[in-house]
Structure 1
Amino acid sequence: MRSPFGLALIVGALLATAPSHAQTFDPSHPVCMHVYSGANGGGGEWYDCSFMSLLQCRATASGRGATCDLNPYYPVNVPQPRAQHSRRG
């Protein structure tokens, strides 16, 4: 009889060696379009993160197999740099 611990260790090792995916979202734009193309004809799916608004993305996605979502990697709460004023006297 094999131990459950040994089986769990083997399964964990196999899952740890599975290929990982790189970040697919471009953090420079707040909206991404997730495009689904052909399950039978190939093509796969991808993200197009080049939109500044949901309306702009939805207009592009209209009539296609695509959805628009907010970009989870867009830096929303980044403080804006303060302007440097020089004093001349």
Structure 2
Amino acid sequence: MIKTMTKFTTTSLIKLLKKFPKDLPIETELSLLWNYPDELRKYYDKIPYDEYEELTINKATDLCIFEGSWEKDNISDVDGKLKEFLKVE
């Protein structure tokens, strides 16, 4: 069975995923990239990294989910969203 949805919110993606069995593994690696307000950068060296990550996730302004792994350098960016998301010219 194949289902294609091009636009999600975090809520709509979670709603779809909840329809699958609870512990069903996702077979592909997924990597996240999010933007957050610049004013949060001042906390980078002031709080533990895990807390900083949580803070930026909670205050995220944009989110991209890519297939692949940052560590393996095999991020799939078929639609060119990475360059657009990073605002690279």
Q: Greater helix share, 1 or 2?
A: 2
Q: Greater strand share, 1 or 2?
A: 1
TM-score by length of 1: 0.24
Larger radius of gyration: 1
TM-score by length of 2: 0.24
